[in-house]
Amino acid sequence: MWIFHFKFSYKLLYLFLLFVLSCATTTEKESIKSFVEEINSKTLPYDTTTSINILFSTNRKLTNTQPACSNNYFSVQYDFNTRYGICEVNVPFLHDIGELDYDLKKPKDVTFQFLSYTPLSSNDYFSKIANDPYPEVILFVHGFNVQFEEAVLRAAQIKYDLKFPGQVLLFTWPAGAEEGFVSGILINKTYRSNQENAQKTIPILKSYINSLLGLGKKVHLVVHSMGHQIVLPAIHDLYLDQKKKLFAEIVLNAPDFESVKFAQMARDLKEAGNRVTVYCSPGDNALVASRQVNNNSRVGSCELIRGVDMINVNPVDAPFLGVGGLGHGYYSSRPVLTDLYQVILGIEASKRLFIRKSTQNTENYVLRR
């Protein structure tokens, strides 16, 4: 699409990081140097087709079909139980950033494929995370109407395109529509069903995060869309219980969450992490629809909140002459992943590539084309 016409090289980013080092604080310098050292010593080059293991946890209800990393096995129905496993995913080096082309009939260099499924006990799952030599992980929680396969492939795509040296952990909750044409077009019914599952998942995610934090890893939290209706109440409760720093970076993408409630939580959320970053877009049609359904404003449509880095991505999200644009899924695109890479480094928003200060009173910054 037109917004992807610029070419970005990680060599350019490294040159940028060297420039940032010259004017960074001592803490920023240490973070950047450490990250670059890890990238050079431990990260796969990700310049070829690669097999990636995604560790997942889920409260999706299982079906009676053959166990596999598939929508047929992990349903859209809620379950009180939490299950754990590994999905081995083939990530093609020829994929377009943000695209999830999945076709078993195509060569592995051009399409994502599921290679294997390994169920894990709770102990084995957390042991694998604890024993990974890299001290940082990304916890990814998806949003509305995302079935199991898409959630896993998205986690693999994010890890590959970020060249993240640690584990990208997926928490996949029972989102998605029931199979069938009729259920697929009844979007309001699907929204309410997903929303109900999200509310019931809050204590499950809270327990999971508590166990994850007990491993002593540096956890970066990346959330999308309706996933915030689970994550934000869970981490707010955890912070109120423990009154201590829980996360490194808290990154909120297109939050489908009530603005007034978020503003009330914001002060505590800021204390729960090193920083809270929100990617928002007033042109996000999915959130316009959510506002009508919920009868209130949504954080992801942009609303300035003190202590939060509110970044308007509308310049890269909006369609050109009504054609193109990234839509509600901009979080997995090249522009946002480029910025996320720098967020994880700990670089201040005003010092990052393609960021400018906003002249509006609805956000702090704007992600430039």
Q: Which of 96-100, 141-145, 165-169, 241-245 comes out lowest in average pLDDT?
A: 96-100
Say if residues 264 and 316 touch (Cβ distance below 8 Å). Answer: no
Per the structure, the count of domains in the chain is 1
User: How much is the pTM?
Assistant: 0.87
DSSP 86: E
Whole-number Å distance between alpha carbons of 149 and 143: 13
30 or 234, greater pLDDT: 234
Name the β-bridge partners of 141: 171, 223
Say if residues 211 and 126 touch (Cβ distance below 8 Å). Answer: yes
Query: For the chain, how many helices (H) and strands (E)?
Result: 11, 11
- Token code pair at residue 295: 């009868």
Q: What is the pLDDT of residue 4?
A: 31
Is residue 118 exposed (0-12), middle (13-18) or buried (19+ Cβ within 10 Å)? middle
- Token code pair at residue 222: 């990346």
DSSP structure string for 176-217: SPPSSHHHHH-HHHHHHHHHHHHHHHHHHHHHHHHHHHTTT-
Quote the crossing angle between the two packed helices 259-272 and 228-242, to the nearest 10°.
50
Q: What is the pLDDT of residue 316?
A: 76
**Cα-Cα-Cα-Cα dihedral of 346, 349, 351, 353, to 10°?**
100
Quote the crossing angle between the two packed helices 228-242 and 187-213, to the nearest 10°.
30
pLDDT tens across 208-255, in order? 999 999 999 999 999 999 999 999 999 999 999 999 999 999 999 999
Looking up tokens 């051009």 gives 110
Q: What is the pLDDT of residue 292?
A: 92
- Token code pair at residue 189: 């019914």
Determine what percent of the chain is predicted with pLDDT higher than 70: 82
Rounded average pLDDT over 160-185: 83
Determine what percent of the chain is predicted with pLDDT higher than 90: 69
pLDDT tens across 97-139, in order? 878 887 778 888 889 999 999 999 999 999 999 999 999 999 9
Residue 184's CB is within 10 A of a number of other CB atoms, namely 13
- The residue segments making up the domain with residue 291 are 2-367
10: pLDDT strictly greater than 50: no
pLDDT tens across 40-80, in order? 655 566 678 999 999 999 999 999 999 999 999 999 999 99
- Regarding beta strands 167-172 and 50-62, do their DSSP bridges make them parallel or antiparallel, or are they unpaired? parallel
Q: What are phi and psi of 350, to 5 degrees?
A: -65, -15
Termini Cα distance of the chain: 13
Q: What are phi and psi of 117, to 5 degrees?
A: -130, 130
Query: What CATH number should be reported for the domain holding residue 185?
Result: 3.40.50
